[in-house]
Amino acid sequence: MSSNFINDFIDKLTAGNRPDVYLSVTPGVGLEMIQIDDANHTIKNYAVRPLAYNESLREISNMDEFKKGISEMFEELKINPKCNVTLNIPTVLFGSIEMSLMLGDEAITGAVTSEVEQSYVFKRHDPIVQWWDSNSTSGETRKLFYSAVQQLVVEGISAALAEVGANLVGLEMSAISTLRALDYTGLASEEMRDGVTWNLLTVNSNGYTLISMVGKNVVDYYEEPIAIKSYEGDEIYNVISSSAQITLMSYPANYLLVLSDTNSVSAEVLAKSLNVDGTIEYIENNKFKRKEFLPVSLDVLPDNILKISLQAIGIAVTKSFDYPVKCNFLSATSGEIAKAEEIITLPIGENGFQTTPTMAMVLSVIISVLFLVPFGIAFLLLPKLQASKQAELDELNASIQQIEKEIKELKEAQQMSGKFSVKNEINKTLQDNRVKLMAYSAIGESVPSQLWLSYFMTEGSGKISIKGGASTVEDVYTFYKNLKEYLVSSDLKLQKLEMVSDDVDEFMSNLPVTYDFEISNMSAPPPAATEDNSKGGKNTAKSGKTTGKAVNLPPEKKLLSDTPIN
């Protein structure tokens, strides 16, 4: 059994535990990858790549570009490609149909499929259809909404994701993703109240669509094709407004929400050109957008914030946010949310067979048992071999114990050699910090108002070197005496006390006199703080009780501060 087979087998078994990642193919924006933090109601991850979309054929223009974009975004967001992907695509076909109440689900699916195949989009490709009940009945009939997507397109998307390691688990259309996003973001909170009638007028590059709503439920759908890009300037607003005015007369409502998904039309300008009853609001889902729909995390690039589309948000909350209208093309035919378990294919040699993750887990247990059975048989049939080897095992264990004893003794000898002791190092560090803290506290309590320090050095061993200046000799001795009282165990000595100026005339005048001093118990003298001090003075006053030479610090010691401390 090859390692590749085992790895593939494990990947299939763990498919249910993969993280969820959401993608949206959004014309005018590109390919979006998004993850939402539902606890904080923010967008935590987002990336976007250019992706051409064929508006006429209603499909991705280049599947290799689609696959490349996915790989780059996984790498950018540092997401493991082995994940479950739910994808939003532009609405390919959306409509309504009335069916007899007597028809079952299978008959309805067949009738909807026949209706869908009348569209030019599905003249070349087989459709995957979804339908759901509008909860509206009239006599012997009921109204159903349906949508469809090309089966070949779905297979191409699934294969592209599989090549990068991802697993396609959901596929939805932008009309439903947009409604879910409007509800989640609160942009249509007034319109989506129970019993409120409103219309959603959405402009895209193919024309405009009108979804008639009552609260959160779809009541009717209308689509008007217009070659948006064939018009220039404000001419397009006149064309859409003239057509929409007539259409809206058939759908009276309390609110009209104008949404633009194309950069060619501003929803604000279009909304102002419409003259209808009720409240008119607008949302820019294009380059005219001025504010993000949801707060974003700091991980989202600033240039991408205004690119985040409603469709991307709507698909990102498809599992965490409950919205009454659902349309997953990978679910069961009758419009259920999702299949109970995903069907997976296990590779066996050159062929494969389909199963569910649960069954795959059962098979793995069976295979494990089959591998263990031969070992059990061998253990039962070879008891004599076990007995004969026991003596060898005992001898080997004795040798191991002897070696372990020698290793232990060697480790103890190394520890006793004093190379390194964690306990000693901790005690030494604590003692050093304690000595330094006592020195800092003593200085803080002892400095007179007319005395300043220009140099201070302390070592963990208790060695201290201090240099500074004072206006009077009394201040120096007061400072020295206070230090001795605080640092009782220290053998500090006043090493030097001298007048800064060596000019006798200056000394005899009434000008202020400054004295330099050094206090230290270090073995080597500290360096002079200034150039004048290094030269020394002619007049020196020394204490009768403290003797010693002026000291300088070793060259490797550094000044703690170059600024006098008042």
Q: What is the CATH number of the domain that holds 472?
A: 3.30.1360.100
Task: Tell me, yes or no, whether 506 lies in a domain.
Answer: yes
Task: Check whether residue 389 and residue 482 sit in a common domain.
Answer: no
Task: Check whether residue 464 and residue 523 sit in a common domain.
Answer: yes
Residue 53 has pLDDT above 90, yes or no: yes
The pLDDT of residue 535 is: 38
Mean pLDDT of the region 85-114: 90
Q: Tens of pLDDT along 92-102?
A: 999 998 888 88
Question: Higher-confidence residue: 365 or 232?
Answer: 232
Task: Check whether residue 438 and residue 405 sit in a common domain.
Answer: no
pLDDT band at 33 (very low <50, low <70, confident <90, very high): very high
pLDDT band at 533 (very low <50, low <70, confident <90, very high): very low
CB atoms within 10 A of CB 169: 22
CA-closest candidate to residue 308, choices 323, 292, 288:
292
Q: Which domain holds residue 394?
A: 382-420
The pLDDT of residue 555 is: 35
Question: Higher-confidence residue: 352 or 225?
Answer: 225
Residue 362 has pLDDT above 70, yes or no: no
The pLDDT of residue 450 is: 84
**Total residues belonging to the chain:** 566
Range scoring the smallest mean pLDDT among 413-427, 481-495, 508-522: 413-427
Average pLDDT, the chain: 80
pLDDT band at 311 (very low <50, low <70, confident <90, very high): very high
Task: Tell me, yes or no, whether 30 lies in a domain.
Answer: no
The pLDDT of residue 399 is: 86
Task: Check whether residue 392 and residue 443 sit in a common domain.
Answer: no
Residue 336 has pLDDT above 60, yes or no: no
**All residues at 6 or more sequence positions from 67 whose CB lies less than 8 Å from its CB, including other chains:** 160, 161, 163, 164
CB atoms within 10 A of CB 301: 13
pTM score: 0.59
Share of the chain above pLDDT 70, in %: 75
Range scoring the smallest mean pLDDT among 187-196, 252-261, 330-339, 402-411: 330-339
Mean pLDDT of the region 408-414: 78
Task: Check whether residue 283 and residue 210 sit in a common domain.
Answer: yes
Mean pLDDT of the region 18-25: 92
Task: Check whether residue 202 and residue 227 sit in a common domain.
Answer: yes
For residue 373, with 0-12 CB atoms within 10 Å meaning exposed, 13-18 middle and 19 or more buried, which class applies?
exposed
In what helix (H) or strand (E) does residue 217 lie, and over which residues does it extend?
Answer: strand 217-225
Task: Tell me, yes or no, whether 143 lies in a domain.
Answer: no
Task: Tell me, yes or no, whether 374 lies in a domain.
Answer: no
Mean pLDDT of the region 500-524: 70
Task: Tell me, yes or no, whether 402 lies in a domain.
Answer: yes
Question: Higher-confidence residue: 206 or 513?
Answer: 206
Q: Tens of pLDDT along 196-252?
A: 999 999 999 889 999 999 999 999 999 999 988 888 888 999 999 999 999 999 999
Rounded Cα distance, 218 and 176, in Å: 10
Range scoring the smallest mean pLDDT among 40-44, 271-275, 359-363, 393-397: 359-363
Angular region, 80: left φ>0, alpha ψ -120 to 50, beta rest: beta
Share of the chain above pLDDT 90, in %: 43
Task: Tell me, yes or no, whether 200 lies in a domain.
Answer: yes
Residue 334 has pLDDT above 80, yes or no: no
Task: Check whether residue 410 and residue 440 sit in a common domain.
Answer: no
Residue 400 has pLDDT above 70, yes or no: yes
The pLDDT of residue 161 is: 94
Task: Tell me, yes or no, whether 548 lies in a domain.
Answer: no
Task: Tell me, yes or no, whether 493 lies in a domain.
Answer: yes
The pLDDT of residue 417 is: 62
Question: Higher-confidence residue: 12 or 476?
Answer: 476
Range scoring the smallest mean pLDDT among 71-80, 275-284, 329-338, 377-386: 329-338
For residue 383, with 0-12 CB atoms within 10 Å meaning exposed, 13-18 middle and 19 or more buried, which class applies?
exposed
Range scoring the smallest mean pLDDT among 114-128, 130-144, 171-185, 262-276: 130-144
Mean pLDDT of the region 319-324: 89
Mean pLDDT of the region 522-526: 61
Residue 550 has pLDDT above 70, yes or no: no
Residue 438 has pLDDT above 90, yes or no: no
Rounded Cα distance, 105 and 423, in Å: 78
Rounded Cα distance, 357 and 254, in Å: 49
- Boundary (domain end) residue, out of 420, 441, 468: 420
In total, how many domains does the chain have?
3
